Structure 1
Amino acid sequence: MNDFLMLYLPPVLILGVLAGIAHVRLLEFPAYRGWWGEYKVNFMLRLCLSGEYKVFANAIYRGKTRGESTQVDHIIVSRYGIFVLETKCFKGKIITYPEAPESWLQIVGRRKYRVQNPLMQNYAHVKAVQKVTGVHSQKIHSYAVMAGQASFTYGMPERVYSIWGAIRKIQSYKAPVFTRGHVVSICRALSERRIKGGYWAARRHVEKLKRRGDDGSTTCHEDRPREEHLSPPQQEQQQ
């Protein structure tokens, strides 16, 4: 046993250190950082939620018009409602303004970026899920999940959570709104109407967005939420 450890432990440790260094370096790239954030959320959802919750990750569905598609980061189906999550892996500082809820200000070092409010982006995802399942919007809950290291200067807005916060929020719903049979039919619809193809389907979706001159969001500016529970968060700016 000692000979086995002496033979294999050093190279395993070296590979682990190299993998850690590569991971830290890759986090500087937005594409990898986004993938890592979605992976963490997907892993924690499946680990922490019980078997009565069904998780769909990176599901692509048809858009409102022919040729359009909408990619949803995470859909959780349960007897207590449908939860649609938009995952972001931001870094730096985030400033939100109640008078301009459509976008956030991200500060990374000396650079400032105007990024779309994830809840606005998630609105199109919610409408796609509603179209596929036929479920009333009051039973579909929209949340944004922050999987990165970004801090909010004035605190997280309403319906924006950390990974653990999102899990606790989902688990806080205790009143059933669907029967078990209804849950099965919803999951069947989400599975059957999902665009198949895995990586290649996701790649075609991104290429379509680029051809449209989009910034990676499938939300159109004219499609702003009107329902109260889908409206952008409003919070008081602290002094």
Structure 2
Amino acid sequence: MNQILSTAFNGLFLYLGLALAFMVLAGVLRSPRFKGWRGERAAQSMIRKKLDPQVYVDLHNITLPTADGSTQIDHLIFSPYGLFVLETKNYQGWIFGGEHQALWTQQIYRKRSKFQNPLRQNYKHTKALQELLGICAEQVHSVIAFVGDCEFKTVMPPRVTRGDGFVSHIQSFTQTVWSPEQMQDLLDKLEAIRLQSGRATDKQHVTHMKALQAAKSQPKSKVQTKTAARPKPEPVAEPVKPSPPDVVDILRESVAAAIVALPVNVQPERPAPASARLPAAVQRVNEVRECPQCTWPLRKLVMQRGPLAGQGVWRCTNTAACSFVQEETSQD
């Protein structure tokens, strides 16, 4: 009997151990970090298979120092036609986003989640390379590659690609911007500037990114400043009333002089209706404009950043499924 119970308990512990190991493995495979690593490996494999190594020199997982810490780049591709900064995203489901939107949306069935616009994320990478290598903006090209099983539901700019579409986008640049000697000098300069790859560098960069995210999410604390007490005015023993000024009341004379008898047969003009007295711009406030793509109402916004900063635009309120944006004209 004891032997049977011992065998049963041993089998139960074995099954529990296997179940726990399976749960841990499933958690690791579903983690964003593992998905990102798998997407980077897939993009690296496409680069080495479809881009000529005699023309294109690829570097991966580059960590560069910046003024506020460090920045990490997934892939760098040097070529005679410029430097391509490739940011990979391993996403599934539907992707909604616009070039000038700060946050994009990922939808899997009924679940929606927001993530940072990868174009803005890669903009920091390109600016860091321009400053460190001393090259102009026309020689650096930002490219975004979605390598997961996803589908774009909004019109994406040419710099945002899906699958191996980034390869053809890179190959579309055919104008030479520097010589092989200049390209080799940039490679040597980058190798001297970049931080040494390894766990210590990756850990330090992750800590820096978490600190930046915590600083952004933390609400701004109200700074309370103590103001110095104002000195109280000394009491006056005998307040003196000021003497009244020498003025002449001409109001009655002006009003009386302004009154003129109207003729009997002249009728006073009727005031115009309120709608006619309002400017045209005010009359159009109550009008509701519809989106020409999805017939949702449009909302007027004033852009705060980007090339349209300070300019009014009409944007569709159905931001989850429509990215219609129209610049405001003088007639609007």
TM-score range (shorter-chain normalised) is 0.7 to 0.9
Tell me: CA distance 1:24–1:152, structure 2 relative to 1, closer, same or farther (3 Å): farther
**Which is helix-richer, 1 or 2?**
1
Q: After alignment, is 130-139 or 105-114 more displaced? A: 105-114
Q: CA deviation at 1:225?
A: 6.2
d(CA) in 2 for partners of 1:57, 1:201 = 14
1:74 equivalent in structure 2 = 75
Tell me: CA distance 1:214–1:189, structure 2 relative to 1, closer, same or farther (3 Å): farther
Aligned residue type for 1:88 = K
Aligned residue type for 1:63 = T
Aligned residue type for 1:48 = K
Q: CA deviation at 1:112?
A: 1.2
Q: CA deviation at 1:84?
A: 0.5
1:33 equivalent in structure 2 = 35
Tell me: CA distance 1:69–1:176, structure 2 relative to 1, closer, same or farther (3 Å): same
Contact persistence 1:88–1:146 (CA under 8 A): yes
d(CA) in 2 for partners of 1:69, 1:154 = 32
Contact persistence 2:58–2:75 (CA under 8 A): yes
Gaps of 5+ in 1: 1-21, 216-223, 227-235
Contact persistence 1:123–1:225 (CA under 8 A): no
1:92 equivalent in structure 2 = 93
SS at match of 1:38: helix
Q: Which runs of 4+ in 1 moved over 6 A?
A: 22-25
Contact persistence 1:120–1:225 (CA under 8 A): no
Q: TM-score, normalised by structure 1?
A: 0.75
How many pairs are equivalent?
198
- Give the fraction of aligned pairs with identical amino acids, expressed as a percent: 32
Q: TM-score, normalised by structure 2?
A: 0.55
Cα deviation, 1:145-181, whole Å, max 9, x if unaligned, reads 1011121112433310124211111112112111010
2:47 equivalent in structure 1 = 45
Contact persistence 2:147–2:163 (CA under 8 A): yes
2:131 equivalent in structure 1 = 131
d(CA) in 2 for partners of 1:96, 1:50 = 32
Gaps of 5+ in 2: 1-23, 216-304, 308-321, 325-332
Q: Please provide the CA RMSD for this pair.
A: 2.5
Contact persistence 1:95–1:153 (CA under 8 A): yes
1:179 equivalent in structure 2 = 179
SS at match of 2:52: coil
